Amino acid sequence: MGQLTFLNFVGDQLWKVHPVVHVDLSGKTVVVVGANVGLGFEAAKHFASMNPERLVLGCRSQEKGQAAVQAIQATGFKNAELALVDLSRFASVSAFANAFIRDGSQIDILVYNAGVASPNYVSTSDDWEEMIQVNHLSAVLLTVLLLPCLLKAASSGSSPNPRVVVVSSDVHYWASLSKEMAENDDKVLQKLSNKDYCTPKVMGDRYSLSKLLNVLFVRELTKRLPANSPIIVTSVNPGYCKSQLGRHLPFAVRIATAIMAAVLARTTEQGSRQLVWAAVGGAGREFELRGNYVSKANLQEVSDYVLSDDGAVAQRRIWEESVEILSGVEPKFESIVREMLTS
């Protein structure tokens, strides 16, 4: 696609959503992060219907997470379990990942669905702007920490191609980093997280930018995995769906969004089908899926910016800075990067 005009967006939303793809997940472990509501919950229900050996719902709230587990168990699937993770706290993300590593768990499918959207600057306890941390840095931290568990699924014969699905969005087509920032600023992510830099105008574009960072991360991680790595990493666009994502937006914006949603939005169940397709679809096309962007149950071209020289510079810079930051957060992260990824 390369670009996304408003008419393209409307056309995509009116596209007839394909039925959910269904495979046998017997003996496999599926982890869905951000699974208590919306897209993640609906995707988890679809995975439950495929009979995995373990279905782990990563949720922030004990109460809401347990309610989601019980709702899935009520369908007759009994192997759903809750694991708590607060993506706005690096220590919580590390603890969540380390529990799998400590238990010697294999992971066949990892879906990173969690994300936040806010018009205002919000600082986390780790002193990062919330969307930069939750939507990007925690996605990088968790995915890299769990690479050994994904590789274990491949080496055990459970999955020839374990998959990581990072939920992005078609709004990444409307985002970019300025050439000046990508090439000249010493610390791009720190600047993006600086409260003084995060004016209302900057924050108005922040969610789109965070979804661009998801696409850049998936592409760069794939470049750095060995050529013969069995792990498949993709970013996915669920489309514009009715969800709780915009619950923190100003009242007037929420009213306008609700009107547009009534006309154009998919249900969260329909959107979740894209997550499932990225996780289990495309049989026979595994090599094509690596590092690519999924939309409408197929591979789609990313934005012109991502494909440009400026995008390549930004992609490398963001990766290098993310590695530096997260290596200081979790020593295991640095060792996995060194041992499992190329420089």
Residue 167 resides in a domain? yes
Q: Which of 172, 235, 168 is nearest to 3 (CA)?
A: 172
Place of tokens 């690519």: 292
- Whole-number pLDDT of residue 183: 77
User: Coil, strand, or helix at residue 222?
Assistant: helix
248 in any annotated domain: no
Tally of CB atoms within 10 A around 149: 21
What whole-number distance in Å separates Cα of residue 285 and Cα of residue 224? 20
pLDDT at 186 (0 to 100): 82
Mean pLDDT of 294-318: 95
pLDDT of 114: 79
60-74 pLDDT, tens digit per residue, is 999 999 999 999 999
98-102, 142-146, 237-241: the lowest-pLDDT one: 237-241
Q: What is the mean pLDDT of the chain?
A: 91
Residues tagged active-site: 169, 207, 211
- Residue 240: band (very low, low, confident or very high) from pLDDT cuts 50, 70, 90: confident
Q: Is residue 253 situated within a structural domain? A: no
How buried is 108 (Cβ within 10 angstroms: 0-12 exposed, 13-18 middle, 19+ buried)? buried
**CA distances (Å), origin 200, targets 14, 139, 205:** 32, 25, 9
Instruction: Say whether pLDDT at 14 is over 80.
Output: no
- Do residues 153 and 106 lie in contact, with contact meaning Cβ atoms separated by under 8 Å? yes
The reply to whether 54 falls in a domain is: yes
Q: Report if residue 1 sits inside a domain.
A: no
CATH of the domain at 284: 3.40.50.720
Q: List CB contacts of 324: < 8 A, sequence separation 6 or more.
A: none
pLDDT score, position 259: 53
Range of the domain at 294: 6-12+22-239+270-338
What's the structural domain count of the chain? Answer: 1
Task: Kindly report which listed range (16-20, 79-83, 113-117, 226-230) carries the lowest average pLDDT score.
Answer: 16-20
| 3-state class (DSSP) for residue 239 | coil
Residue 247 lies in a domain: no
With respect to residue 257, please indicate whether it lies within any of the assigned structural domains: no
pLDDT above 90 (res 304): yes
Mean pLDDT for 159-181 is 93
What is the mean predicted confidence (pLDDT) over 305-330? 96
* pLDDT value at 143 more than 70: yes
pLDDT of residue 252: 53
CA distance 298 to 274: 9
Burial of 76 (0-12, 13-18, 19+ CB in 10 A): exposed
Containing H/E element for 184? helix 179-184
Kindly list the distances between the CA atom of residue 113 and the CA atoms of 44, 59, 148, in Å, as whole numbers in the listed order: 11, 11, 20
What is the length of the chain? Answer: 343
The Cα 199–Cα 179 span in angstroms is 19
At residue 146, the pLDDT reads: 98
- Asked if the structure places residue 38 within a domain, the reply is yes
Cα Rg, the chain, nearest whole Å: 19
